[in-house]
Structure formats: structure tokens, C-alpha cells
Amino acid sequence: MSQPEATLKELVTRALPDPGEIASFLDGLSLEDRIRAVRGMHGGSLQGELWRAVVGAPRVRTDEMVPHDYPARRPVIFHGKNSLPAFTEFQKICFRPEDSGDVAWGYNETKIRPWIGPGYYVLHDTPDAHLGGAAFDYTQVPSATLPAWPPVRGNEGGISRFIYGNMLDYMRRVASEVFIGSAVKGGKEMNSYFIVVRELLSV
């Protein structure tokens, strides 16, 4: 039986990748295998192929990434893989605040968080952006967190400014629980991508 990461790579690297076939494959996996498949997508070339393959997907909204019927203040975990040379695995953890409209607040959990900072963001809709319908926006930070989360801080100082400063990650849907993002810094596309698998936590 094929390994999920090998199958996903094969689907993405075809001459004409079929986004419907990619979505169907990922939707049929368990959470663990879905994360495994996504975290086998190494490098900007491969992730860029997937980003371009799903350009025609319906524009994703914040309330599709963090559903309205999911309890407010319950964490949503996005297990991720980025296209950087090192420290490529991460989690974006966020929650929907009460009475906040279509936004979510969160931060990045990485092995190097003590050095680069938590990378706080606001996830919100971007209806006028051609790259995607929602974005993790690092130019904004939450006004509250959940217990045990790191203290909120902006992204314009220290090492954080090189990683998260002046950056938005625009999102496209790949499958029901899988999304891909493209980093834009200072209004410029960075050819830097990441893929995330959503996990909605039960009580």
C-alpha cells in the first residue's frame, strides 16, 4: 500500500494536477495520515505546485476555517509544514472570540518560538485580495489569549520582524480539512508557502 506522503507527491507533480483528485485523496485519510502526507511536502517548488493547482478552488472564508458552530474560545489546531530550509514543522493555534464577527485570534507554536517569538496574528476575511479569501494577518494582534498561551506581543521588534513582520499569509482550500498559504510581506509575494491540516478538538 502506498504511503500517504508518496501518493500526495505523485498527485501534485503530475503534468496536470487534478485538484478534485487531490482533495478526494486527502479527505479519505485519517487525521494522522493527512498530517503525514502534508508534512512530506518538502520545499517551495512542490508546495508552489499545489498552490497553483488549487487556484480555481472556491475562495475560503474565515468561518470555513474556524466554523461558526465550533465553540468560541475552543482552540483549533492547524498542523503545518512550510517550505523553508529548516524548522519546517509548526502549529497555528487559534480560537474564535465571543461576539467578534468573522475573525480568529492565534499564534504559531514552533520549536524555535523562544527565539523568534509567538507570531501572533488575526485570521480574517480578505474579500478583495486576488490571492485568497482569508489571511493570517501578522500586522494585527489579538486583544486576548487563552490560558497558558504565551504573552501577546507585536511582530515588529527583535527577530520577530524578520519572520512575521509586515506579513500576511493568504489561504486557499485544498481539501475539507487541508489549506495552503502563500506568504506576502510588505505587499510582495515571497514564493514561500505552507500547508496546514485542521484539527477541531472535541470536549
In the predicted model, what is the mean pLDDT of residues 76-81? 98
60 Cβ contact partners less than 8 Å away, ≥ 6 residues apart: 132, 133, 134, 171, 172, 173, 179
DSSP, residue by residue, 58-78: PPP-HHHHTTTTSPTT--EEE
Q: What is the pLDDT of residues 31-67, one digit of tens each?
A: 999 999 999 999 889 999 999 999 999 999 999 999 9
The whole model's pTM is what?
Answer: 0.95
The answer on pLDDT for 1 being more than 80 is: no
Q: What average pLDDT is seen over the chain?
A: 94
Q: What is the pLDDT of residues 86-132, one digit of tens each?
A: 889 999 999 999 877 789 999 999 999 999 999 999 999 999 999 99
How far CA 138 is from CA of 1, 124, 176, in Å, comes to 41, 11, 25
Please report the sign of the dihedral spanned by the C-alpha atoms of residue 135, residue 136, residue 142, residue 148.
positive
DSSP, residue by residue, 175-188: ETTEEEEEEEETTE
**Domains located in the chain, CATH noted:** 59-200 (2.40.160)
The helix (H) or strand (E) run that includes residue 169 is strand 167-175
| Radius of gyration (C-alpha) of the chain in whole angstroms | 16
Can you give the pLDDT at residue 27? 98
